[in-house]
């Protein structure tokens, strides 16, 4: 039952990620778009961890679920906003370097976390919340001290991104408006231009009229509801007055009491109406946020496929969540505490592998940027040059992702084969196999993280806010882990070991001796109370065949993710992005011409004719300044 409640909490919390992405897109604050949400997440983490600390000490299940819910909300908020922040500030040609640095930072954090787990394997779980809270406060302090983000009103003037989202935000915000305030009007206009290269004025007018009609209907309904409540209050007061007139005993006191009751009931009805309206607003916000994030995934077919690659790949990686049981049941690690320590060592080896390969991979992919570093020329070049350099870069990123999937397939093959050697080899051989598996897992996730995140920063669709675009892509790893864990749990349920079954370690002299030695030491680890204790006698949970079946399923998931990655047409996505920028540039220059009729036509380039024509453009270097003039003119 507890696991069911936890899954409900996880699922509900993960639904909120698109909401945070959309809200951050619409945020207007001197700190910028993303940093206010990070500050709120900081407060939420501290509060939720305090609740979890108390719940773990008092063993209050309901309080634990409340703390877990808000902790997961804060986690999704940080993931969504952080991914959007990277998309805002990282130039597209530095996407590989940014992905490599992000992977290295995540590896450092994991190493610290697993070291803590190794040192405190016998300690109470409540201390984990204190340690995690301390490191979260430390990292957030570094973020707010080092990271800089332009105020919302200046986004686009100093922005590094050249896609149409940033350009559109710049023009609308310079005019004192927000691009996403009128989703139907501006969203339809941009989406239509992406698909056809031309604005659809009729669709724009129709979509802009729809929210006005809905608002009028909602106002009329609210007015009718208020009028009905007022009529009910009047009738109740009349009834009270008639009753007071016929009652001579304690008339004044009774009248006051009746009137107080009527007022209380009216206030309760008003509170109910307010609660209903608030609930409807929340539901509408969820629908709108998910709709915008869904549009971001479907607006670019390749971006949607890339998100699918991440979900499927990390669904396969979720088999590592059963690795603790795998160590005990398939490789016969004698105690749970020892299993936690071995798992921590494996995880540390895995993350050290990430650190070892992240920086060289970044340098390999950064060779495409050597021209910019040596010459110091502007990042924005002709569309043909952008397409050529972008195509080479994303080809390397895609290759890294394929290599990561291949390494993961080798790991799962090892998980299938190694249990057969468990009863014929000693513990040292088994430990060596486990450590090699950890290195393979680190190599796989490192290559995949650098490749797919670099591709995402390159291929983020134009026409939607970065928060909405990354709100589903960023947490997609978590979605994959949750989905895979559910599938794995369901599959293993068919391979449970009977409660009265003999311990598998008794079949081998070495392992049975280790088990007996640990059992003689005591049934409970010293220093542990009733809450959070770890038993020394660790009985098997699932059959070895179950783990082998799960590993084979994960191999199939890896193959599916490779197929989806193969279908990602990166040149097509790059061409679409550059075409949108060209179309928007033409529109912005037209606005400049209308606002400044005296300006000579020689100052502007001739507009292109189609999406596939990437003619050399001598004036692209002046692109940002022209868009700024267009925004100020509008």
Does residue 78 fall inside a structural domain?
yes
Residue 218: per-residue pLDDT: 62
Residue 556: per-residue pLDDT: 92
Q: Find all residues with CB under 8 Å of 331, minimum gap 6, and list them.
A: 418, 419, 422, 430, 433, 434
Does residue 196 fall inside a structural domain?
no
Residue 560: per-residue pLDDT: 93
Does residue 375 fall inside a structural domain?
no
CB 365 within 8 A of CB 393: yes
d(CA 437, CA 319): 13
Q: Find all residues with CB under 8 Å of 410, minimum gap 6, and list them.
A: 440
CB 570 within 8 A of CB 302: yes
By CB neighbour count within 10 A (0-12 exposed, 13-18 middle, 19+ buried), where does 281 fall? exposed
Does residue 463 fall inside a structural domain?
yes
DSSP 3-state assignment of 337?
Answer: helix
d(CA 341, CA 469): 39
Chunk the chain into consecutive blocks of 10 residues (it has 634) and report each block's average pLDDT, rounded to whole numbers. Answer: 64 74 79 85 89 83 86 83 80 75 82 77 72 86 81 46 40 36 38 39 45 58 65 60 47 44 56 69 69 69 84 85 70 70 80 82 58 49 59 80 90 80 66 80 86 79 70 77 81 75 43 42 36 48 81 90 88 62 46 46 41 37 36 39
Q: Find all residues with CB under 8 Å of 601, minimum gap 6, and list them.
A: 593
- Total Cβ atoms within 10 A of residue 121: 17
Alpha-carbon radius of gyration of the chain: 30
Task: Verify that 7 and 148 share a domain, yes or no.
Answer: yes
Output the furthest CA–CA distance in the chain (Å, rounded).
99
CB 383 within 8 A of CB 577: no
Task: Verify that 70 and 95 share a domain, yes or no.
Answer: yes
326: Cα within 13 Å, side-chain hemisphere: 30
For 452-483, the pLDDT digits (tens) are 887 877 777 766 667 777 777 777 787 888 78
d(CA 113, CA 52): 18
d(CA 309, CA 327): 28
CB 532 within 8 A of CB 124: yes
Q: Find all residues with CB under 8 Å of 465, minimum gap 6, and list them.
A: 21, 22, 25, 26, 84, 165, 169, 179, 180, 292
Residue 73: per-residue pLDDT: 86
Task: Verify that 560 and 578 share a domain, yes or no.
Answer: no
Does residue 513 fall inside a structural domain?
yes
The domain that holds 341 is classified in CATH as 1.20.1250.20
Give the DSSP letter string of 164-218. HHHHHHHHHHHTT--TTTSIIIIIHHHHHHHHHSS--HHHHHHHHHHHHHHHHHH
Task: Verify that 503 and 608 share a domain, yes or no.
Answer: no
Element (H, E) at 62: helix 61-89
Task: Verify that 553 and 602 share a domain, yes or no.
Answer: no
Task: Verify that 147 and 60 share a domain, yes or no.
Answer: yes
CB 475 within 8 A of CB 14: yes
Phi and psi at 531, nearest 5°, equal -90, 120
Element (H, E) at 529: none
* Structure tokens belonging to residue 81: 């906003």
Helices vs strands, H then E, count in the chain? 22, 0
d(CA 222, CA 236): 21
d(CA 129, CA 321): 20
Task: Verify that 347 and 488 share a domain, yes or no.
Answer: yes
The total number of structural domains in the chain stands at: 2
CA-closest candidate to residue 634, choices 175, 181, 199, 153: 175
Task: Verify that 564 and 615 share a domain, yes or no.
Answer: no
Query: What is the residue range of 434's domain?
Result: 2-153+300-369+387-520+542-572
Does residue 184 fall inside a structural domain?
no
d(CA 520, CA 525): 12
Task: Verify that 554 and 603 share a domain, yes or no.
Answer: no
Task: Verify that 490 and 512 share a domain, yes or no.
Answer: yes
Does residue 475 fall inside a structural domain?
yes
Task: Verify that 496 and 582 share a domain, yes or no.
Answer: no
Find residue 176's DSSP bridge partners. Answer: none
Task: Verify that 357 and 448 share a domain, yes or no.
Answer: yes
DSSP 3-state assignment of 475?
Answer: coil
* Domain boundary residue, one of 530, 554, 572: 572
* Structure tokens belonging to residue 425: 């080899």
Dihedral angle computed from the Cα positions of residues 608, 609, 612 and 616, in that order, rounded to the nearest 10 degrees: -30
Does residue 270 fall inside a structural domain?
no
């Amino acid at each position: 039952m507890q696991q069911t409640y936890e899954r409900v909490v996880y699922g509900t919390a993960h639904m909120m990620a698109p909401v945070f992405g959309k809200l951050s897109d619409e945020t207007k604050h001197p700190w910028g778009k993303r940093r206010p949400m990070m500050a709120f997440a900081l407060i939420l983490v501290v509060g939720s961890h305090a609740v979890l600390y108390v719940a773990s000490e008092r063993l209050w299940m309901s309080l634990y679920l409340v703390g877990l819910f808000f902790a997961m909300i804060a986690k999704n908020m940080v993931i969504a906003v952080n991914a959007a922040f990277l998309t805002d500030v990282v130039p597209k040609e530095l996407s590989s370097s940014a992905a490599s640095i992000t992977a290295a930072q995540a590896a450092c954090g994991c190493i610290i976390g697993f070291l803590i787990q190794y040192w405190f394997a016998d300690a109470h779980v409540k201390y984990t919340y204190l340690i995690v809270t301390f490191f979260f406060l430390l990292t957030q302090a570094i973020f707010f001290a080092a990271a800089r983000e332009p105020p919302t009103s200046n986004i686009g003037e100093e922005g590094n991104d050249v896609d149409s989202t940033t350009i559109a935000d710049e023009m609308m915000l310079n005019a004192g408006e927000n691009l996403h305030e009128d989703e139907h009007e501006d969203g339809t206009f941009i989406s239509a231009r992406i698909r056809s290269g031309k604005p659809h004025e009729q669709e724009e007018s129709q979509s802009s009229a729809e929210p006005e009609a809905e608002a009028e209907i909602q106002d009329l309904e609210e007015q009718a509801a208020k009028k009905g409540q007022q009529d009910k209050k009047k009738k109740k007061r009349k009834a009270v007055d008639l009753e007071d007139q016929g009652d001579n005993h304690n008339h004044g006191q009774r009248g006051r009491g009746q009137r107080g009751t009527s007022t209380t009931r009216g206030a309760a009805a008003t509170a109910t109406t307010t609660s209903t309206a608030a609930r409807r607003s929340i539901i509408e916000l969820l629908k709108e946020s998910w709709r915008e994030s869904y549009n971001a995934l479907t607006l670019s077919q390749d971006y949607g496929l890339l998100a699918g690659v991440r979900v499927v790949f990390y669904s396969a990686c979720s088999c590592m969540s059963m690795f603790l049981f795998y160590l005990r049941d398939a490789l016969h690690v004698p105690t749970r505490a020892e299993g936690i320590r071995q798992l921590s060592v494996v995880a540390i080896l895995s993350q050290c592998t990430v650190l070892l390969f992240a920086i060289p991979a970044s340098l390999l992919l950064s060779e495409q940027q050597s021209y910019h570093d040596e010459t110091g020329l502007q990042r924005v070049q002709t569309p043909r040059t952008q397409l050529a350099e972008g195509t080479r870069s994303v080809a390397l990123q895609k290759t890294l992702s394929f290599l990561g999937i291949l390494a993961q397939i080798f790991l799962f093959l090892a998980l299938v084969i190694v249990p057969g050697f468990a009863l014929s080899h000693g513990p040292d051989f088994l430990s060596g196999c486990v450590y090699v598996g950890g290195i393979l897992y680190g190599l796989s996730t490192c290559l995949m993280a650098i490749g797919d995140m670099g591709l995402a920063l390159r291929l983020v669709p134009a026409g939607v806010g970065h928060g909405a675009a990354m709100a589903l892509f960023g947490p997609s790893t978590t979605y994959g882990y949750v989905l895979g864990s559910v599938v794995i749990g369901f599959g293993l349920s068919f391979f449970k070991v009977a409660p009265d079954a003999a311990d598998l370690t008794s079949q081998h002299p070495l392992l049975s001796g280790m088990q007996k030695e640990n059992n003689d030491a005591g049934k409970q680890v010293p220093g542990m109370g009733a809450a959070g204790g770890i038993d020394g006698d660790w009985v098997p949970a699932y059959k070895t065949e179950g783990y082998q079946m799960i590993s084979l399923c994960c191999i199939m998931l890896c193959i599916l993710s490779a197929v989806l990655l193969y279908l990602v047409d990166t040149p097509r996505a790059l061409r679409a992005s550059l075409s949108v920028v060209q179309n928007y540039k033409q529109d912005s220059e037209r606005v400049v011409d209308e606002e400044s009729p005296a300006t000579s036509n020689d100052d502007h380039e001739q507009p292109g004719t189609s999406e596939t024509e990437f003619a050399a453009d001598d004036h692209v270097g002046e692109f940002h300044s022209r868009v700024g003039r267009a925004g100020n003119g509008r």
